[in-house]
């Protein structure tokens, strides 16, 4: 089975896919979770230098709600690859799944403080702040994300919605007008600009 999974990884990589996630998807059909996890761990051991292997193992444990194992594997992944942002995002998701939103936020806050220009981390942190109802901090993070990803049409849209939530009508108008120029989300933009004029 391990030999076949190695082949899945090689073939997937040749196609430009993440071979470890494809191997995990194949193993996730196995009824014997312990056996599947052991096999995935063997695959990860053969690719310790690639953070995607450890991530796939941790994700499999998370998917099967083995949160203790998922956390142990994620922490090991972060220790071995401290600059790999998906490890922090998965650890935050683990805390969220356990209902510990404060720890989920803290993990991403510390990761963003350490890697302030990482688009994935900033975006994940901003969205989690929205879920937590901290719109002021979320707005600041989305402003940072706009600087990092100026081509992403979702960012000015979310900035506009958050500005309205914070009663910053002029800022909201500016964000929606900026988005209007791109031709993206035209119905949403028209709706919110109409609401602003109505107010």
- Summarize pLDDT for 37-88 with one digit per residue, the tens: 999 999 999 998 999 999 999 999 999 999 999 999 999 999 999 999 999 9
Q: Who contacts 12 (Cβ-Cβ below 8 Å, separation ≥6)? A: 18, 19, 22, 23
pLDDT in tens, 5-39: 899 999 998 999 999 999 999 999 989 999 999 99
Q: Answer yes or no: is pLDDT of 103 > 90.
A: yes
Average pLDDT for the chain: 95
State how far the Cα of 193 lies from the Cα of 195, in Å rounded to an integer: 5
Q: What is the DSSP letter of 6?
A: H
Q: What is the DSSP letter of 123?
A: H
Percent of the chain with pLDDT over 90: 94
pLDDT of residue 199: 87
């Amino acid at each position: 089975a391990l030999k076949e999974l190695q082949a899945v990884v090689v073939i997937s990589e040749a196609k430009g896919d993440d071979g470890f996630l494809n191997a995990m998807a194949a193993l996730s059909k196995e009824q014997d979770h312990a056996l599947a996890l052991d096999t995935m761990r063997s695959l990860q051991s053969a690719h310790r230098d690639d953070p995607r292997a450890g991530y796939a193992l941790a994700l499999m444990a998370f998917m099967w709600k083995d949160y203790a194992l998922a956390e142990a594997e994620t922490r090991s992944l972060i220790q071995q690859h401290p600059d790999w942002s998906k490890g922090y995002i998965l650890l935050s998701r683990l805390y969220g799944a356990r209902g510990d939103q404060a720890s989920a936020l803290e993990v991403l806050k510390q990761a963003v403080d350490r890697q302030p220009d990482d688009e994935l981390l900033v975006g994940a942190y901003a969205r989690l702040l929205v879920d937590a109802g901290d719109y002021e901090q979320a707005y600041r993070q989305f402003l940072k994300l706009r600087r990092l990803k100026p081509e992403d049409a979702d960012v000015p849209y979310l900035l506009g919605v958050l500005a309205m939530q914070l009663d910053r009508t002029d800022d909201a108008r500016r964000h929606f007008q900026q988005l209007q120029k791109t031709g993206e989300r035209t119905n949403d933009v028209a709706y919110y600009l109409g609401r602003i004029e109505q107010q």
